[in-house]
Structure 1
Amino acid sequence: MASLDSVSLAILLGAVLVMAGILSSLLALRFGAPLLLVFLLVGMLAGDSGPGRLQFDDVRTTYLVGSVALALILFDGGLKTRFASIRTVLAPSMVLATAGVLLTALITAPVAKYVLDLNWTESLLVGAVVASTDAAAVFLLVHTQGLRLRPRVGATLEAESGTNDPFAIFLTLMLVEFISIGQSSASHIAMEFIQEAVLGAIIGVIGGRLVVLALNYVALPQGLHAPFVTTAALVIFGGSQMVHASGFLAVYLAGIIIGNRPTRAHNSVVTFLDAATWLAQIVMFVLLGLLVSPHRLVSSISGSVLVALALMLIARPLAVAICLAPFKFNWREKVFIAWTGLRGAVAIFLASIPMLVGLSKAYLYFDVAFVVVIISLLLQGWTLGPAARRLHVALPRAERGPRRVELDLPGQLEQQLVGYPVRPKSLYFRRGLIPSWSKPTLVIRDERILTPVEADPVAPGDYIYLLAPPERAEALDRFFVDMPPSAEPDPHLLGDFMVSGEHTLSELAEIYGVKVDEHQAQLTLADYFDIYLDRAPKQGAELGLDTIVLVARNISGGRVNVVGLRLPEEEEAAAPLTRMQMVKRKLADIWTSVAGV
């Protein structure tokens, strides 16, 4: 009976942990990644050094769980990555993900050697373990802290954090092999790297395409699409690892392939994986906490803290500065990218590899990684939002998205039904704006189903359902949230040829002589972006208007409030001085009238 009671107790504790993880997602939206440290603490308290007195030293199980969790996290990150947004930053991201990791490890190694009394190979292993940024921590923090990063900065961090783990894992495995065997060669390392990278990329791309085909052409029962995709991701990961390819790279690329192609039940898959990755992180942090011994940490705590500070303040900034030197990033962007080099469960996971193979000083690597992660999440994690705003690389989101309902329509992949509650202060209700690529289909009012014609005019409290392409459904959110008061433009984003987003197209036509359709004349520039841009406006988004191009220069509350004007090159070349003087004078008049000066 005692054994049955222990099984029941394990089920109870496991269920309580999962329930706590689900409820903690609400707190995560407020506090961000440092909340995960609570689960590390839970693991430590439950361990043999805490009041729980649970004896746990199963490194193999920890490595297995960590591998699955990390694979799901990377797959989920790839699934949400829009290839169009990272295509322009692939070069700097790949340099950071490879050379950046190597440089970070090399710069950290001398500090580890002298403060931890290691030889050069062992100190380089310490550097490799903590060198990569953690995809889960970066993805989670950017989301939970409500940051809208500048497109190039956000895309660079997204691509780097998603692709540097495979290189860090490769570097760690090579060093563990070298320490274990005592010898290796440059040709062997090069061949291993090529095999892992090339095979991993091939398997990831092919596997992603096969999953897309299966989703679209296999009639799975309702509700099984998300478990199928999740299982397929693990099949891709495990198959890659079996043939000595990089499973982590393969699963990330497979996620990008699936996320950027039209598939059935796309949004239910994303929602399911969000929950799965959050629970996977919790389980991983608890198991890692169980492996930590507070008594053992005391002997290396001072050296570990010095390694963490050297990593954050010296190694990462130098690596970023060197890697991004050939690319056109300003100093603010470089500083922010350097500060966003968060370390998370990946570092502790990598530190479990020496323990798994039984290296001497294996627990020292683990303890150092543990301290580095805690300091990184506390110091960098909680300051990420303020750093982004002070460096003017991001603006905080003005609102959370509305409660959106998405329904797949059987028999086709081009459209889905998207539903929203109509709020009295929403852009849709106040101004009647809706993008050109969506179509109102039905309205629910007082438990009655009405056509848009029958329901006209739509009233607050109604539920409206629209047809929209699945990949653009999220862009509809901005029409159904409460409109915040307009904010002053960020002066760091302004320059010549800027106008307020509240000016109408007819006013612009008078100044520049562009042709505007009569039905568009009274639209504001912000309205024009809302209606004709095929996604939520972001800084740098462009729309043509006759012979000029409108460029979104600043966003407030999901709306364009400052618009840049790109004039025809031939006109600028014909009379640059006269044209510039005329435009500046007229823009000054506009801004003066708006400000009431």
Structure 2
Amino acid sequence: MFAVDALILIAGVLLLLGIVSSKLSTRIGMPVLVLFLLVGILAGSEGIGGIEFEDYRLAHGIGTIALTIILFDGGLGTSMAAIQVSWKPSLLLATLGVFVTAAITGVAASWILPELSLLEGLLLGSIVGSTDAAAVFAILRWGGVALPKRIAAVLEVESASNDPMAIFLTVGCIELLLRNVPLGPGLLKLFAAQMVIGSIVGVAGGFAAVWVVNRLELGAAGMYPVLVSACALLIYGVAVQLGGSGFLAAYLAGVVIGNKRLAFQQGIRRFHDAMAWLAQIVMFVSLGLLCSPSRLLEISAKGVLVALVLILIARPVAVLLSALPFRFNWREFTFISWVGLKGAVPITLATFPLMSATQEHPMHAPLIFDAVFFIVVVSAVVQGTSLAPMARWLGLETPREPEPPVSLEISSLRHVDGEVLDYAITEDSRAAGRQVRDLALPGGVVIALIARGDQVIPPQGFTRILAGDHVIVVLRPGTKPFVDQVFGRNPPERTVVPAAVEFPFRGTTTVGELEEFYSIAIDAHREWTLDRLIREKLESEPVQVDSVAQFGSLRFRVQRLSSDGKIELVAMSILE
């Protein structure tokens, strides 16, 4: 057997064990990253696998590539609405919060671990100062914890954007220990470059990637996800070459791309979701291979003390100072303080001292690496396993959206002016209990199918929609605000209907239906159709295409007439 054959066999076994452990994690309530690390430890030199792996540079490279993929996928799944409601507290948590966490933890570490000087203790604190995006995404998106949208958005955006501060503090401490840079403006310049350049490259690169994907006609659908992945890696590389944060750039590029219309969009998202899972398994298993359990046992007592200071003192103080201006209640404050999950980023950053240490300046790099690894495991086990009970105890857990039993999508190699949406019908949805023909949907909107349990129901006019159904709707993008009014929950999923935008309605839609489904009140008989409403308003004027009738702030324009002169389609707009 060639060496590469053995390597492929080992890789396949480790991947399978990682996948099986992810299934096990949901049953025992253990964060999946802990089990991935455990697989790596068991396969390592002191485990049953006996695999010798001490290449810190390779581990750092694997961790960097994997984190880029995970952060990019996290950006793809982050809506602009989440950014808008969370960017202010998230930005403070990602900067001031990381600094305060690093300072308190670093001072405590230099006291608990007497081998470390104060500056070496601050280096350890800087390494563990940030929350880890891979860990947070794994818990919040795939770990069974459903939270209010504002809290979830703050935690996700913070974890994705706080790496520049942690890298800045870590590199700054190393440079000070190596005496390569004095304390002062040089460090501030490094941080500013990381944040500003990373942000500019990420946003600009995201828009450029959207432009390329929508205009480059590829012959095979499978090439589009590969093209987007190449753009993500390119954006990371450009940001780093210019002195910025590649991680921040990758995340922001994902946000831009995920909130734009793309060719083969659903296929691109599914591909990167799979890549993110693969990256997590490879990264955590590789980092687990680096671990020596015997060394962890030696540091366990002191490591627990440092972890307790980090979890119970440093993180809460940092959250208090950062989130105080934003009026979080005590429940939200407590939960945000508890979600200071550590993961791959600290372990990856812990390889920096190992690669930078010299004989003149050893920096106690092996001790720092072992301490960081132990703190990450404690954080993941203690905080990760208790997130769901903590959310329930604080009354913050919200009902999870039921998984749709079927899916439908438009698969096109070109940009098409349409989309497919899946609405989970709840008791407070306006569509619940109504027949399809009574929904008064806008023109250009079609219910493609209804999924009820394990049944697929082709919709007909008399089909009644029930709570618990999944309604698959094909629509033109401009009609979405009105469709949300019909199928969305009351009130959080009902988007505001924009002003000065025309929405098509059938001429047979009644005044009562507009009020019932869209909360649009018109001073007219409820049973009147839009056809009759417009004719009554125009009185003796002839009704023709582009005829206009106005009722207060509502404007109705005739879009289409039938061969016998009936109004088939009306464009309604709300005047500002």
2:237 maps to 1:268: no
CA distance change for structure 1 residues 33 and 403 in 2, over 3 Å: closer, same or farther? farther
Of Structure 1 and Structure 2, the greater helix share is in 1
Q: Distance in 1 between matches of 2:464 and 2:282?
A: 46
How big is the shift at 1:354?
Answer: 1.0
1:150-229 map, 5 Å: 150-181=148-179, 183-220=181-218, 221-229=220-228
- Is the CA contact (8 Å cut-off) linking 2:136 and 2:159 kept in structure 1? yes
- By how many angstroms is 1:316 displaced? 0.2
d(CA) in 1 for partners of 2:478, 2:399: 24
1:29-68 equivalences under 5 Å are 34-68=31-65
- Partner-residue secondary structure (3-state), 1:110: helix
Aligned equivalents of 1:544, 1:334: Cα separation in 2: 39
Is the 1:440–1:452 Cα contact (8 Å) retained in structure 2?
no
Match of 2:512?
Answer: 518
In the TM superposition, what are the counterparts of 1:271-350 in structure 2 within 5 Å? Answer: 271-350=270-349
Displacement, 1:400? 3.0
Q: Please say if residues 195 and 244 of structure 1, whose CA atoms lie closer than 8 Å, have aligned partners that are also in contact.
A: yes
> What SS does the corresponding residue of 1:395 show, helix, strand or coil?
coil
Task: Give the aligned length.
Answer: 492
**Paired residue type of 1:245:** G
1:80-115 Cα deviation digits (max 9, x unpaired) = 111222213322111110010000011111210111
The equivalent residue for 1:108 is 105
Q: Check whether the contact 2:404–2:470 (CA below 8 A) recurs between aligned residues.
A: no
Match of 2:122 among 116, 121, 124: 124
Distance in 1 of aligned mates of 2:10 and 2:167: 32
Question: Where does structure 1 lack aligned partners over 5 or more consecutive residues?
Answer: 487-497, 502-515, 533-542, 548-597
Q: Which residue of 2 aligns with 1:133?
A: 131
* Residue identity in the other structure for 1:166: P
User: Residue in 2 aligned with 1:567?
Assistant: none
Match of 1:439 in 2: 445
Query: Within 5 Å, which residues of 2 pair with 1:230-269?
Result: 230-269=229-268
Change (3 A) 1:470 1:308: farther
How far is 1:301 from its partner? 1.3
Aligned with 1:396: secondary structure? coil
Q: Secondary structure at the match of 1:55?
A: coil
Distance 1:401 1:32, change over 3 A: farther
Q: Which residue of 2 aligns with 1:467?
A: 474
Q: For 1:394, what is the secondary structure of its paired residue?
A: coil
Report if the CA contact (8 A) 2:86-2:150 is conserved.
yes
Q: In the alignment, does 2:78 pair up with 1:81?
A: yes
- TM-fit CA distance, 1:519: 2.7
CA-CA distance at 1:160 after TM superposition:
0.8
8 A Cα contact 2:435 2:464, kept in partner = no
Contact 1:300 1:368 in 2 (8 A): yes
Please state how far the C-alpha of 1:376 moved relative to its aligned partner. Answer: 1.2
Inter-partner Cα distance in structure 2 for 1:362 and 1:471: 57
For structure 2, the residue ranges without an aligned partner over 5 or more in a row are 495-509, 524-576
| Aligned-partner Cα distance in 2 for 1:13–1:432 | 56
* Local SS of the residue matching 2:162: helix
Aligned to 1:415: 418
Q: What CA RMSD, in Å, does the superposition of the two structures yield over aligned residues?
A: 3.9
Counterpart contact for 1:225–1:265, Cα < 8 Å? yes
One-letter amino acid matched to 2:434:
R
Tell me the residue number matched to 2:369: 366
AA aligned opposite 2:385: W
Tell me the distance in 1 between the aligned counterparts of 2:225 and 2:56: 30
| CA offsets 1:524-571 (integer angstroms, 9 cap, x no match) | xxxx5xxx5xxxxxxxxxx88789xxxxxxxxxxxxxxxxxxxxxxxx
* Cα distance in 1, alignment partners of residues 150 and 421 from structure 2: 30
The letter for the 2-side match of 1:384 is: L
> Does the aligned pair in 2 maintain the 1:21–1:278 contact within 8 Å?
no
Distance across 2 between alignment mates of 1:138 and 1:472: 34
The 1:70–1:459 alpha-carbon spacing in structure 2 relative to 1, beyond 3 Å, is closer
Deviations for 1:178-217, whole angstroms, at most 9, x for unmatched residues?
1123642311111112222221111111110111001111
Report which of the two structures shows the higher radius of gyration computed on alpha carbons. 2
CA distance 1:271–1:476, shift in 2 (3 Å):
farther
Distance 1:374 1:55 in 2: 21
Partner of 1:555: none
1:142 matched residue in structure 2: 140
Judging changes above 3 Å, is the alpha-carbon distance between structure 1 residues 9 and 168 closer, same or farther for their aligned structure 2 residues?
same
The amino acid of 1:205's aligned partner reads V
Deviation at 1:465, TM superposition (A): 5.7
Q: Distance in 1 between matches of 2:100 and 2:450?
A: 59
Residue 24 of structure 1 deviates from its aligned partner by 4.8
Distance 1:50 1:26, change over 3 A: closer
**Equivalent residue, structure 2, for 1:494:** none
Contact 1:39 1:282 in 2 (8 A): yes
- Cα distance, 1:13 vs structure 2: 2.0
Q: Sort the Cα spacing of 1:469 and 1:329 in 2 relative to 1 into closer, same or farther, 3 A.
A: farther
* Aligned residues with identical type, % of pairs: 40
Among 374, 377, 380, which residue is 1:377 paired with?
A: 380
CA distance in 1, matches of 2:521, 2:511: 10
Offset from partner CA, 1:320-343 (integer Å, 9 cap, x none)? 011112221111111111011111
2: CA distance, partners of 1:402 / 1:469: 24
Distance 2:29 2:364 in 1: 33
Q: Within 2, Cα distance between the matches of 1:386 and 1:395?
A: 13
Cα distance, 1:73 vs structure 2:
1.2
- Contact (CA 8 Å) 2:120, 2:363: kept in 1 or not? no
Deviations 1:270-324 (A, max 9, x none): 2111111111111111111111111112221111110111100000001101111
Letter in 1 for 2:513: H
